[in-house]
Structures are given as C-alpha cells and as structure tokens.
Amino acid sequence: MKKYLAVFRIRFINALQYRAAAAAGVATQFAWGFLEIFAFSAFYRANPNAFPMEFSHTVSYIWLQQAFLALFMMWFWESDVTEAIEGGAIAYELIRPMDLYKRWFAQSCANRSARALLRCAPILLIAFIVPKPYRMGLPPSLPQFTMFVISSALSLGVVVATSMLAYVSIFYTLSSTGIRSVFTTIVGFLAGEYIPIPFFPPSIRAIAELLPFAAMQNMPLRIYSGNIAGRDALWGLAFQVFWLSLLIVLGRLAMNRALKRVVVQGG
Amino acid sequence: MRLYMKFFSMHMKSQMQYKLSFFLTMIGQFLVSFAILLSLYFMMSRFNVVMGFTYEQVLLCFASVLMGYSLAEMLGRGFDLFPRMLGNGEFDRALVRPRSVITQVLASKMDFTRLGRILQAAFVFIYAVPKSGVIWTRDKILTLFLMVICGSLVFFGLFIVYAAFSFFTVEGLEFMNILTDGGREFGRYPYAIYGEGILKFLTYFVPLALFQYYPLLYLLDIEKSKLYMFTPLLSLIFLLPAYAFFQYGVRKYKSTGS
C-alpha cells in the first residue's frame, strides 16, 4: 500500500506544478459554466413546470461540475498509460515490483485530484459571490455535505476504474485513436456531462440511473444541493460502492488476461 | 490557387492511406457532436420552445454553426497546429519560401476527418429545413448559405487569432477555447438565449451572432428588413483585425533557433 501512496504523492506534486495552464483553464471554465447556466435559465423561463430539478440545484450542479472538472470528466485521458501500451514502455512497467493496476489507479487519481485542487478554488469563490439566481448555494446540512465528500471520492474511483477498462482494451486494439472519442462521448453522455440525468426523457432516465455511469458525477453533484437527500443519498452511496467494486474486479480480471498475452512491439 | 489544390489532393490521398484509423476518427467526430445534438433534442422535447424558437428552428442554428465551424477546422487545421510549427522551426522555412505565409500554413495541414461533422450538419439541415416553418424564397436560401460560409470564415479568423497569440505566448492559450470550441457548442442555441450582455459581446467584439442569430430572425420573418439578411457579410470585418494581428506577430517573430 505504501508504494502506491508514494506514486500518488509524486504524481500529485508533479501535477501541481502546472499553475499557468490552470489559470487559463479557470477563466475558460468560469465562462463555460456561466453560459451553461444562462442556457438553463432560458429554458427555465420558457416553462418552469417542465424543469425536473429546482433551478438552484441545477446551478450548483453546473458550478461544481466546472470546479471539479478534472475529477469527474471522462475525457481526461491518462496519456502516460496509453502511450506506455502503444509505445512498448509497458515492458519497463512490468519488471517493476508493483501491481500495474494499482499503480495506474493511484497515478490517475493523483493527476485528477491535483488538477481539480488547482482549479476549483477560484471557480468556487466566484460561484459563491455572483448575483442571486446564478449563485451557488450551500449544502442544506452538515451530514449532507459529508455524504457529498464521500460520494465525490467514490465517484472519482468509478471514473478511474471505468477508464482502466478502456486502457485495457488498447492492449487488444493497439491504437487509442477512435476508442478515446467513442468511449469518452458515450460514457460522458450517460454520466450527465452534457445535461444532468434528470433532464433525460423519463424512460431513458430510468435506465441511465441504473448504469454504472450514474455512479459518477451524477451522485455527488446532486447530493451536494440536496437534490438527492437523506435515505436516497445513502442508497446512492451504496450504489456507488457496488459499481466501484464490480468495476475494479472486472478491470483486474481484464488486465490480467491482457497481460498474459502482451506482446511488446519493437526491440 | 493551383498549388493549394495540389496540396488539397495530396493531404486527401495521404489520409486515405490509413483508412480504418481515418474512419474511426471520423465516427468519433460524428459521435461527439451527436451527443450535443442528443442533449439538445432531450431539452427541446421537454420544453418545446426556448425564447419562442421551436426545435427545428434551433436545429437551423446548430447545423449552420456546426457546418461553418467544421469547414473552417478542416481547411484551417494548420492554424490550430501553428504553435507546433513555431516550436519545431518549420515556420522559419515557410518564411523563406516565395509564397505568402498564410497560404503555406493553410496548405501545411488539412483534416478530412471533420467530414464526420459536416455530414451530420448536412443531415440535420435535410431534416430541419422543411420543418422549420420558414417559407423558403430565393433570398432565404441565399441567407442560409451566407450563414454557413461567413460563419466558417469568422471561425477561421478566430483560428488565425489563436495562431497569432502563439507568437507571444505558448502557455495559457486555453482561454481561446471559449471562443472557438465554446462558440461551436453554445452556437447550438440562438446566441440571444444567453442574455443581452453576451449577445452584445458576440455582436460587436467577436461577431458570432452576426452570422447566426440575426440572419435567423430574417429567416423566420421576425425581422423583415433586408439588413438582417446581410449581417453575415458584416461579420467578415472581423477578418481584418485578425489578419493584422497575425501580420504583426510575423513582424515581431524571432526564431527559436535550430
């Protein structure tokens, strides 16, 4: 366990160095969040009754999504990992006395949380002071906030475990072009990256809420504002734990199978 | 021009060598904008109208912006990769050749995988044009063409601005994304739904609304004045400062060395 924590720490500190890029990113994400909220507000004015969440809940959802973009978005791709598989550097990885799955898992978590940490503070700060309908609210209660924190961590785990499955598939296809955009788009859509899951038509929503993708950003971002509260939120956490463990088991199995027949290209 | 066509067919042929990879990337491109289309459909089927625009009318915005952007990106990809060209010294070679720099950057890269998006925009047009409730006269067909072509030129202008910025800084170009990628993604709705302030900005500073929102009003007979038909042409003024900025960058350019 200690060595994986060390991997986490090294990667985390390393990713914290990119401050200028983060500053530019913050400006973009802030503008992006505002435009999303303006669009939702136009729909809200068109027909408040058809709005499936409270408007303030939607506002919190968007701001948190922008603030913790790096934590939850599927399209952050660990190019170190994919390049190792495509380029053959995987050979070096395999002779290290470390479990590859755990190592890559720790590395992805570190990169994502460092990026999120760098970017979230200014966005949240502004989100809390902009004028009223667009301002982000506080969580309704302390237990609710605690559940949000736990759910965020679980959600990060589910996102990373899912992308591990995608990385493993590169062992078979040997090229990440195509897979990346197809995979990240479909998973991202079902996770509620484009519009929150409650905005899906009822029948599709019912299915989407059972899939592992609903255990990603959908949970923490809705628990924060109290859109999912109390007992439902606890069920949500259980739902996340269930998918997280299943995805990790599947991911490890798939990886072991892939590693048995791995062919390193080149000499 | 003949030289450019030569490069055009050269890039086309070279990309066709890797057919599977080409089509996979193309499908990926198609899917990315399809997800946006799907979310638009979900929203519109729930709310029916937004600011008085129906689903099919909003689709006209979506398709014209998507097509304009993808055309610009397909042919102007060289400007997107321009920072790399500066970094590896390729630009120095361009400077000493007896052709204009812009032509050379244009010819340096074309990306035909964007056809995936262009195709999608075409499908959406086929669906939305008859259903949008627009009475299609010759003027209105011309307006729609102007929306797409001028849109493409303005996005192209933004790519030039992006490239010009990279003369001065390599870090932090990410903020341009809100205008390019953001312009495309948020252009799925009429720009007016984002409120007065945003609309003003997109009219007077970065004239994205001039080829999308105002001509749409003309198409839908909300504004009958011919002026609205020709607003896309007005947006082309943006190309002047974009070009000037790029030239300024070229003059200030100091090579990074070998």
pLDDT in tens, B185-198: 999 999 999 999 99
Q: What is the DSSP letter of B53?
A: B
Q: In the numeric block, which tokens belong to residue B222?
A: 């909300």
Mean pLDDT of chain A: 90
Residues in chain B whose Cβ is within 8 Å of chain A: 21, 24-25, 27-29, 31-32, 34-36, 38-39, 42-43, 45-51, 171-175, 177-178, 182, 186, 189, 193-195, 198
- Specify the DSSP class assigned to residue B238: G
Q: Is A129 on the interface with B (CB under 8 A)?
A: no
Statement: residue B157 has pLDDT above 90: yes
Q: Which residues, in sequence order, are bridge partners of residue B53?
A: B50
Quote the minimal CA–CA distance from A95 to chain B in Å: 32
Percent of chain B at pLDDT exceeding 90: 56
What does the alpha-carbon distance between residue B213 and residue B53 come to, in Å, rounded to a whole number? 11
Region A137-159: what's the mean pLDDT? 95
Residue B257's pLDDT is: 60
Q: What is the pLDDT of residue A261?
A: 78
Average pLDDT over residues A232-242: 96
pLDDT band of A150, cuts 50, 70, 90: very high
pLDDT at position A45 over 60 = yes
Q: How far is the C-alpha of B100 from the C-alpha of B250, rounded, in Å?
A: 12
3-state secondary structure chain A: CHHHHHHHHHHHHHHCCCHHHHHHHHHHHHHHHHHHHHHHHHHHHHCHHHCCCCHHHHHHHHHHHHHCHHHHCCCCCCHHHHHHHHHCCHHHHHHCCCCHHHHHHHHHHHHHHHHHHHHHHHHHHHHHHCCHHHCCCCCCCHHHHHHHHHHHHHHHHHHHHHHHHHHHHHHHHCCCCCHHHHHHHHHHHHHCCCCCHHHCCHHHHHHHCCCHHHHCCHHHHHHHHCCCCHHHHHHHHHHHHHHHHHHHHHHHHHHHHHHHCCCCCCC
Q: Which residue has tokens 């304009």?
A: B68
Backbone region of residue B52 per phi and psi (left: phi > 0; alpha: psi in -120 to 50; beta: other values): left
Percentage of the residues of chain A whose pLDDT score is greater than 70: 98
> Can you tell me the distance from the alpha carbon of B208 to that of B213, in angstroms, rounded to the nearest whole number?
8
- Give me the mean pLDDT over the A18-32 stretch: 82
Q: How far is B129 from chain A (nearest CA, A)?
A: 23
pLDDT of residue B18 exceeding 80:
no
Mean pLDDT of A138-153: 94
Measured in angstroms, the CA of A86 and the nearest CA of chain B are apart by: 15
**Quick one: pLDDT band at residue A264, thresholds 50, 70, 90?**
low
Q: What is the pLDDT of residue B236?
A: 95
The amino acid sitting at B29 is Q
Give the gap in angstroms from C-alpha A2 to the nearest C-alpha of chain B: 35
Q: Among B39, B172, B182, whose Cβ lies nearest the Cβ of A32? A: B182
How many helices (H) does chain B have, and how many strands (E)?
14, 0
Contact of B62 with B40, CB cutoff 8 Å: yes
Q: Residue B89: its pLDDT value, please?
A: 79
Q: What per-residue confidence (pLDDT) applies to A172?
A: 82
In sequence order, what are the beta bridge partners of B50?
Answer: B53
Question: Does B213 or B167 have the greater pLDDT score?
Answer: B213
Which residues from chain B sit within 8 angstroms of residue A25, using beta carbons?
Answer: 174
- Residue of A24, A35, A177 with shortest CB distance to B21: A177
Residue B156: per-residue pLDDT? 94
Task: Find where tokens 């259903």 sit.
Answer: B131
Torsion sign over Cα B82, B87, B89, B92: positive
Q: Which residue is it, tokens 């990315």?
A: B32
CA distance A175 to A257: 18
Where do the structural domains in chain B lie, given as residue ranges?
A: 25-250
pLDDT digit string, tens, across residues B98-127: 888 888 888 888 888 889 999 999 999 999
Check if the beta carbon of residue B106 is closer than 8 Å to that of residue B76.
yes
φ, ψ for residue B224, nearest 5 deg: -95, -15
Q: Which of A173, A177, A183 is best to mutate for the B interface (most B CBs within 10 A)?
A: A177
Say whether A24 and B171 touch across the interface (CB within 8 A).
yes
Contact residues, chain B, for A27 at CB < 8 Å: 174-175, 178
CB contact under 8 A, B43 and A32: no
Residue of B25, B172, B186 with shortest CB distance to A35: B186
Token output for A193: 């990256």
Mean pLDDT of B139-158: 95
User: What residues contact B135, with CB distance under 8 A and at least 6 apart?
Assistant: B221
Residue B205, helix vs strand vs coil: coil
Contacts of B193 in chain A (CB under 8 A): 38-39, 42
**What radius of gyration, in Å, describes the C-alpha atoms of chain A?**
19
Confidence (pTM):
0.90
Q: Which long-range contacts (CB under 8 A, 24 or more apart) does B225-233 make?
A: B226/B139, B229/B139, B229/B142, B229/B143, B229/B146, B230/B146, B232/B143, B232/B146, B232/B147, B232/B149, B232/B150, B232/B151, B233/B146, B233/B150
**CB of A181 less than 8 A from some CB of B:** yes
Q: Which one of B171, B175, B194 has the shortest CB-CB distance to A27? A: B175
